[in-house]
Amino acid sequence: MIQALRVLNDAAGLAIGQERLTVCTVGHVDGIRLLSQQGLKRINLSISLNAANDSLRSEIMPINRRTDLAELQRALMAYKPRRNFALGVNYCLLPGINDTEADARAVAEFCAPVGRVLVNLIPYNPGTKPLTRAPEEAEVERFIDWLRAEGLPVRQRVTKGRDVMAACGQLGNPTARDARRALRTLQA
């Protein structure tokens, strides 16, 4: 990944400005530490949190079984590439799983010592083997309100790709994609 970032940023490569590049991780602490040693001051970093307690996060994100939240939090606290850096914290809202007021409070407690953050709230998109249903707009708004009441800046991600099983939380479904293409062909 480090080599890819260098090629993407290099004037002889794709010449993409560091500020336009974001590394998103599930919480590979060794990778976060390695990235911090590279001197790439303008690269953005975001993590997929999805739960702020170890038992739930381990259930929905197996990486947490190897690296718990306390260790991840320490690595993020140490990651300070520039003075105005803001960590992206991605949180996929799963109704009935991680959507309570206590969950919002736990997210705020996790983020507090990390420094400046922006929570990207992502409404879950059920795939072919869903964990739960998609959240209703009122549920998303309520969770955003709870996060903001805890002092967190929040942005709701726009849901795209749901109709072809390619949205967040979905791995894609060739059958659904083919059916959608066939429907478009018939409509044309």
Domain boundaries, the chain: 2-157, 162-188
Instruction: Return the active site residues.
Output: 168
Question: Each residue's pLDDT tens digit in the chain (188 positions)?
Answer: 888 888 898 889 998 988 888 899 999 999 999 999 988 888 999 999 999 999 999 999 999 999 999 999 999 999 999 999 999 999 999 999 999 999 999 999 999 999 999 999 999 998 888 999 999 999 999 999 999 999 999 999 876 665 565 655 444 555 555 665 666 667 66
- Please check whether residue 122 is in contact with residue 90, taking contact to mean a CB–CB distance below 8 angstroms: yes
What pLDDT score does 44 carry? Answer: 93
Architecture of 2-157 per CATH? Alpha-Beta Barrel (3.20)
pLDDT at residue 161, as a whole number: 62
Nearest CA among 89, 79, 80, 52 for reference residue 68: 52
Cα torsion 8, 10, 13, 15: sign: positive
- Which among 9, 10, 49 is positioned nearest to 27, based on CA atoms? 49
Predicted local confidence at residue 168, as pLDDT: 53
Buried b (16+ CB within 10 A) or exposed e, 138-154: ebbebbbebbeebebeb
Which residue from 65, 90, 78, 96 is spatially nearest to 36, judged by alpha carbons?
Answer: 78
Return d(Cα 78, Cα 99) in angstroms, integer.
29
Task: Specify the 3-state DSSP secondary structure of 39.
Answer: coil
Its pTM stands at 0.83
Contact 47, 89 (CB under 8 A): yes
